[in-house]
Amino acid sequence: MRVLYERCCGLDVHKQSITACALTPEGKEIRTFGTLTDDLEELVDWLKEKKVTHVAMESTGVYWKPVYNLLEAEPIEVLVVNAQHIKAVPGRKTDVKDAEWIADLLRHGLLKGSYIPHRAQRELRELVRYRRSLIEERARELNRIQKEKEGAN
């Protein structure tokens, strides 16, 4: 298959660790990073050092969000891909194999990224959702108070 992106990276993102597989003309390099801010900044620096132009990761849970937030500020194309679209070949699954598989699919242009709104829109959505949860919590409290009043005559 034809290589579309010479310098790309696949990320297998979890709660406590991120396994990265960078594919460049110099070869393949695999590293594991933590998920704290310092670790994520180290990941970004490593990607810039490798001159990676495209990154892909699975959209499992919410663990991709901090990684995406840092990478979107860089001149790197970031794809967040539905995990169902990149199911690996059956067999033993490891983080390294997943990262390699994602990087290989990305390298050949076989991945389609999910729609991720701009940062301002994401922040507004979070604010609106938080406001809605506060309103719902207030209504629950009022209902509890009303129930206690009715029970006490």
Q: What is the CA radius of gyration of the chain?
A: 21
Q: Is there a single domain that holds both residue 102 and residue 121?
A: no
| Residue type at 116 in one-letter notation | I
pTM value is: 0.81
pLDDT of the residue at 60: 76
pLDDT of the residue at 58: 87
CATH number, residue 24? 3.30.420.40
Q: Is there a single domain that holds both residue 141 and residue 87?
A: no
The answer to whether position 2 is within a domain reads no
| Spatial contact of 54 and 29, defined as CB atoms under 8 Å apart | no
Q: What is the C-alpha separation between 135 and 152, in angstroms, rounded? A: 26
DSSP label of 42: H
Residue 99, both tokens: 């990262």
- Tens digits of residue pLDDT in 13-72: 999 999 999 999 999 999 999 999 999 999 999 999 999 999 999 877 899 999 999 999
Note down the domain range covering 58. 8-107
Q: What is the C-alpha separation between 68 and 62, in angstroms, rounded? A: 10
Q: Is there a single domain that holds both residue 83 and residue 143?
A: no
- Tens digits of residue pLDDT in 96-125: 888 999 999 999 999 989 999 999 999 999
The answer to whether position 112 is within a domain reads no
